[in-house]
């Protein structure tokens, strides 16, 4: 009889524990995201830049790229990833479904709007955009530059995520500060196939905007494989604004004098 009672109590305890676990909410909104969802090394990078929780509170990001013929202004709805790029000569928008182009003068836009509409936002919003859903993380060999090693985190996407799920990224960070230092990336938008040809951007100048550390300058470097060569291009960012207020969705809709692009 005593043994039967012990077994009964044990079964009740197991059932109770199972029910308690099932009743818990394990959604991202109810977890400490930086410690429960992401690898430790990536969590440290996110924390060094202000934290993923603070980033997730934001609804709108605006920045300008300094250019000789007039700045290029980008406005992004952070949750829906709708975007608007404005220059003196053209505007490119994404309304959440389609990309449109408006040419403001007789100068023909020679780029690829569907490739470009979110390109600079992705580079600029590092490392936070690498915390999106549908991403896989793995260790990468460190990057050696001027005698210093930068640990690497390899990022790949699950099938069907984004315009170019075959793209790969490697985030390299400073092991002393945990700040992002380099980004290695492949471009598969045009070929739709995996690539081993990595391009490299150096992140070294940062500006703090409402508690979040965002780039002030991005520098592209030539490379042979993973051997970094000379700098070939640099872009400066100014008039950065981030807000918890949702942008007006009409901002991203196609004007009457614009055209959707294929």
Q: Is the per-residue pLDDT at 35 higher than 90?
A: no
**Structure pTM?**
0.82
Please give the Cα distance from 32 to 43 (Å, whole number): 11
H or E stretch covering 120: helix 119-124
The CA angle 188-189-195, to the nearest 5 degrees, is: 5
Please give the Cα distance from 64 to 241 (Å, whole number): 10
Residue listed under structure tokens 């997730």: 56
Please report, for the chain, the start and end positions of each structural domain, with discontinuous segments joined by +: 39-260
The full DSSP string for 193-218 is S-----EEEEEEEEEEETTEEEEEEE
Class of domain 39-260: mainly beta
Tell me the mean pLDDT in the region 193-205: 84
Query: What is the pLDDT, as a whole number, of residue 194?
Result: 62
Tell me the mean pLDDT in the region 115-143: 95
Q: Which of 133-137, 157-161, 168-172 has the lowest mean pLDDT?
A: 157-161
């Amino acid at each position: 009889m005593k043994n039967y009672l012990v077994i009964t109590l044990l079964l009740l305890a197991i059932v109770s524990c199972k029910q308690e676990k099932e009743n818990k909410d394990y959604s991202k909104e109810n977890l400490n995201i930086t410690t429960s969802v992401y690898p430790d090394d990536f969590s440290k990078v996110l924390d060094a830049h202000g934290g993923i929780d603070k980033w997730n509170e934001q609804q709108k990001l605006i920045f300008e790229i300094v250019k000789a013929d007039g700045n290029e202004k980008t406005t992004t709805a952070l949750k829906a990833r709708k975007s608007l790029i404005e220059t003196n000569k053209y505007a490119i928008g994404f309304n959440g479904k389609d990309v449109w182009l408006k040419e403001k003068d007789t100068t023909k836009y020679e780029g690829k709007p569907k490739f470009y509409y979110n390109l600079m936002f992705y580079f600029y919003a590092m490392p936070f955009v690498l915390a999106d859903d549908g991403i896989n993380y793995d260790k990468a060999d460190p990057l050696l530059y001027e005698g210093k090693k930068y640990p690497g985190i390899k990022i790949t996407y699950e099938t069907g995520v984004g315009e170019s799920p075959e793209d790969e990224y490697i985030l390299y960070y400073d092991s002393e500060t945990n700040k992002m230092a380099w980004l290695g990336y492949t471009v598969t938008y045009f070929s739709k196939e995996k690539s081993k040809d990595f391009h490299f951007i150096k992140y070294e100048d940062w500006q703090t905007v409402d508690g979040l550390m965002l780039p002030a300058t991005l520098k592209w470097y030539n490379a042979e494989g993973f051997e970094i060569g000379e700098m070939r291009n640099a872009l400066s960012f100014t008039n950065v604004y981030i807000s918890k207020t949702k942008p007006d969705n009409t901002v991203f809709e196609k004007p009457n004098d614009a055209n959707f692009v294929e």
